[in-house]
Structure formats: structure tokens, C-alpha cells
A and B are shown apart, each in its own frame.
Chain A
Amino acid sequence: MNAPDTIESPKQRAWVRLRRSSSARTGSTVILCFLLIAVFCQILAPYAPNSRDATVDAPSGPTAKHWLGVDANEKDVLSRVMYGSRLSLFAGLISITFAVSLGAPAGAIAGYFGGWPETIIMRSIDIALAFPSILIALLVATAYKPGWSAVIIAVGLINVPVFARQVRVTVLTIRGLDYVTASRALGASPLHILVRVIVPGIVNPVVVLATMGLGAAILEVAGLSFLGVGGDPTEPEWGSMLAQAKDHLSSSIWPAVGPGVAISLAILGFNLLGDGLRDALDPRLGES
């Protein structure tokens, strides 16, 4: 039945599934919008992030001049939300890259070699997981010189266990498969097996986790800056904008709506894309 030219590789099949998935399409559209806004915010934003408009009595709701209202410092909310997407996306990306590059090798080593490296790695992960992640992040962010780099490192660190655990479990599963045994029987060195035989198998779950992790990281960065850890509060950032709006809630809720909806949409976008990727790359992976 299959003509030779319709035989597809697993990659092509995954790509087709991904393009058919409505959640992946919606998610990637949302993310693309945010990326465009982040890159071109100097052109797109109606005002500079720190320019004040003394003519309105701040904070106030949407007007023709200020579509999302004006915050307590007489600054345009829409412009600040647009500029804020830069920091959020950047911080999320860097911290997840950090988490993957630390967590994935640790998990692979623990899963592949077992023995004392596994004990050390898994025990330290257990210790880290004994605390709620936001508390660890808070400790790290305050311990270090306060600023966005501290927040990024903190968020990266608390995401390390996520990747280490998933990679370890995947490696444990793959290690027992026949093609690994076959390659060992052919005389491949442990390093060769790990890098050339096992690593290709852990790429898919890591990609799925990293996509969802990006949403989580954006949330954690915003949460930390909402708690008052972070850089300069005059810098446009969604979490600190929300914290400031919370203090002036009795006069207007509008300064909170812009950044709040932006955070929610960004997280939603990454969650949807992650769901779509999971279904496309590994239909058996299922929930959680």
C-alpha cells in the first residue's frame, strides 16, 4: 500500500503530528508574538518604558492614549509590558539552558554508571527537593549579589533536579534495551555508548521538559521579583510591575492587568507547545 516515497522517518512523523496538534499551533503562535514584541519593542511600543505622562492622574485605566492604563509612576503600562517581555523571555531561556546543561549530564551519569556517583547525585537532589523551590531560589538570590543575574542563577538551580531526574529515568530505561546491549557486545566503550547510543534517546523528553520548563522559569522569575528580589525596580519587568500594582490596588487594578495577562499568556504558550511536543514526540509519555 505504501509507495516508497511516502515512507516516513520517525522525525517526519513527529513533525506531521506536531503540525496537526492545535495546542502546539496555538502555543507557538503565542510564543512567536512575544518573541516579535521582545525583539521589536522599540518600534512597537508607543512610549519609552520610563517616560512619564504628567497629564493623567495615575494610576488609571485604559484611555485612547494609554491602551492598558498608566501605573502609579505615571508610566504607560502597555509599553512597560512590551519591554518587560525581553527580560522575562531572556531570563527564562538562560536559566533553563543552565538547568539543562547541569541537570542532564548529572542525570545521565547517575542513570548510566550507577554506584556511588548515582548515590551522591540522587541524594543531593533529594536534599534540594526537601524544600519548596521558591524558598531555595529566594535564599540563592539573596545570598548572591542582588540583581537579575542572581535571579536567573537561582531559577536555573531549582530546575536542575527536574532534568536530572527525567534524564536518569530515561537512561535507566534505554540502558536495558537490546540495541544498547548489541552495541556493548560489539565492543563499544562506555563513553561511546553514552554519547552516541543513549544521548539521542534522551533528547525528546528533554526538549518537552525544557519547553514546559521555560513557562515555569518565567513564572519563577516573575514570582521572585514579585517578592522583591531582583534588579532595579524602575526597569520594566512583569513581576515587579505586579508587586507595585498590588500596593495601589485600591485606586486602580489596571496596572496589574497588563503584566498579569502577559505572564499568564507566556506560560500558557509554553505549556501548550510543551503538550503538543509531548504528544508528537512520544505519544506514550502521557501525563505528568
Chain B
Amino acid sequence: MSGWVKLMQLLCWLTPPAVARYLSVRLFHAVITMVVAVSLIFIAMRMLPGNPLLARFGQHPDAEQMQRIIHEQGWDRPILSQLGQFLHQLVTTGDFGESISRSNENVSDELTRRIPATIELTVVAMLLAVPIGVAFGVAAAVWRNRWPDRLCMAGAMLGVSVPVFFLGICLRAIFTGMPIGFRLPAFEIDFEPITEFYLLDTLLQQRFDLFATAFKHICLPALALSSIPMSIIARITRSSMLEVLGEDFIRTGRAKGASSWGVVLRHALPNAAAPIVNIAGFQIGLLLSGAVLTETVFDWPGMGKYVVDAVRENDYVIVQAGALVIAAIFVTANLVVDLLYLWLDPRVRLS
């Protein structure tokens, strides 16, 4: 605990009071929002008609055995008392409990395997989306209303319109040689995962053959996932660049004889960066939490697919855990984006 206090003190010392106040208010709101949201899901899931134990025991379960398990796990107690126990257990041990529909599956363990899968997919997708999106956006702004602009913006329009699950199916059909369904085939994981990010793990242990395999597995899902953020980033970059390119200091730069690409890249782009960072961060939050459809198309063993399958089986232990993790990631990503925005553009009011 004292470590946290020291960290907070350091943060307070580093950050000016206005930012600190803003940050603490935002953090407070974020925590309240998440607790309320998870409580709502907790209660709602328990009031649903379906019976999650049916998935584990089949349609004709042994009534006595089922009763015993329900009693053991405390699922017959009042909902609010279950909620209290869930939150208490979560805060003290960080444990989410055991899955209902699948026996002997600890939800926390499963999540620690699946969260890295989703994060890895998101990171690779954004590594594709940001540079390509920004490049297209800059090109469109520089050659405004000429064919590169038309081409980039038509592409971006198409990118936001084609559903990711259709794009995924097309990619699968076109690149039939690419592997689908795992991050790495189970028999090839003969190394000790350190971070559970396979691309990083294989590099750290200098298993370049496995790195290539893992890269092949992530290519298509990441490509499909990147299409929408790429298009949105291209559009935002274009409009932000157009605004900056019309300003006086750009004309001054040109008048002083700076090369035209130098002006664009060194003066205009940094000044146009704030909205791009904002939208890119927002998209990261969306991808991390919402790669559900992509993960389903490619059978990617990530968090989204885990939660979707659990919703269908009424497995509320998984759903509430997944919902909490997803909400936490999403809220944190948005908070980080807001802080970055503040740092990039101090003109933004602290409110």
C-alpha cells in the first residue's frame, strides 16, 4: 500500500495542481462508472431466464448434483449478497471465480491467456492503421481535390462501410494458404511464455521460426481489424491537415523557402496531430474491447470471443469478469487519450 502512496505523491509532485485535480476527478468518475456498470451486469445476468449449468451437465442433469454445486458456489443466495462477495473477493484476491458452464476452468487464468491475445491483435492492427492512415490522410490533404485525394477518400469511405466480418471472410477466401484459428498451433509452443505476447516471446527467445509462424497467424485478423481505424484516421488526418495548411505560419514557412514537404511534415503534421492522437486512442479502446466480430471470423482465442461464447451459454461468471476487464481497458484507454490530448494541445480547457 505504501508503494501506491509514494507513487501518488510522486505523481502529485510531477503534475501541476490543475491537472492533478482533473485527473483525480476523472479517476473517481471512472471507478464509480465501472462499479455501477458491473453491478448492473451482475444483477441482470442473474435475472435472466436461461440456466448456465445446462451447458455443463447437458439437458437432463442430475438434480441433486446440480443443487449441491449451486449451493457450494453460493449461487442460491440473495443477489446483493452475491454481488458483495464478488466485489470483496475481487478486491482482496483479484480472483473472478470458476466458470459455470465449463468445469474446472478458472476465469482469471483463462483471462490472463486471452487478454494478451486481444492486446497483441489490437497492437498489430494499430501498427498497420496509424502509419498508413496518416500517410493517406496527408497525401489527400496535400493533393486536395486531385486524384490522390479522391482515391484516398473513396478508399476510406469503402473502409468504413465494408463490415469487418465480410472483409475477414474475403481475406480468408483470398489467402487460403494462411493459417486460421490459433495464435500458434499447440504442438509448436515448446517455449516458456514470458509475457504471453507470442510475437514478443518468440523474439526474446530468438525463436525466429516460431516468430514467423505466429506472424502468419496474426496477419489476416490484424489486417481485417485495421480497416476501420485506418479509414477513420485517414479522414481525420485529412481534415485536420487541411485546417493547419490554411494557417499563416505555413505560408510564412513556405515564404522563407522551406521545402514544401518539409513544411508539410515538420510544421503542419505536428500541429495537426492532436485530433489524430485523440481518434487513434479512441479506436484503440474500441478495438481492445470490441474485436468480437474479428475474433469470431478468424477463431482468434481472444477476450471478445470468450465473452461472446459465455453470453450465449449464460455463463455469468465469465460475462461479469469479461465485462469488468473490457470496461476497465476501455475507460483507461479513454483516460490516457484525454491526458495525451491535454499534453499535445494545452489550449484544451480542464473541465
**Which residues of A are interface residues toward B (Cβ below 8 A)?**
123, 126-127, 130-135, 138-139, 142-143, 215, 219, 222-223, 226-229, 242, 245-246, 249, 253, 256, 259-261, 263-265, 267-268, 271-272, 286-288
Contacts and interface: CB of A to CB of B under 8 A. Distances in A.
B161 A268 contact: yes
Given A130-B330, A219-B163, A288 B279 contact: yes
Nearest to B307: A135
A237 to B, nearest CB: 14
B293 A227 contact: yes
B163 A131 contact: no
Contacts of B314: 142
Contact of B166 (A134, A138, A229, A256): A256
Contacts of A134: 290, 292-293
Nearest to A212: B160
The 3 tightest CB contacts between A and B, nearest first, are A132-B290, A260-B166, A253-B173
A256 B169 contact: yes
Nearest to B164: A223
Contact of A127 (B37, B48, B166, B279): B37
Interface stretch (B28-36, B94-102, B259-267): B28-36
Interface in B161-176: 161-163, 165-166, 169-170, 172-173
A132 B165 contact: no
Given A130-B34, A135-B323, A260-B169, A142 B311 contact: yes
Contacts of B312: 142, 228-229
Contacts of A268: 157-158, 161
Given A127-B33, A268-B161, A288-B236, A249 B289 contact: no
Contacts of B293: 134, 223, 226-227
A127 B169 contact: no
B273 interface: no
Given A139-B44, A219-B163, A288-B279, A130 B33 contact: yes
Interface string B24-60: 0000010001101100110011001010000000000
Given A226-B293, A227-B293, A126 B173 contact: no
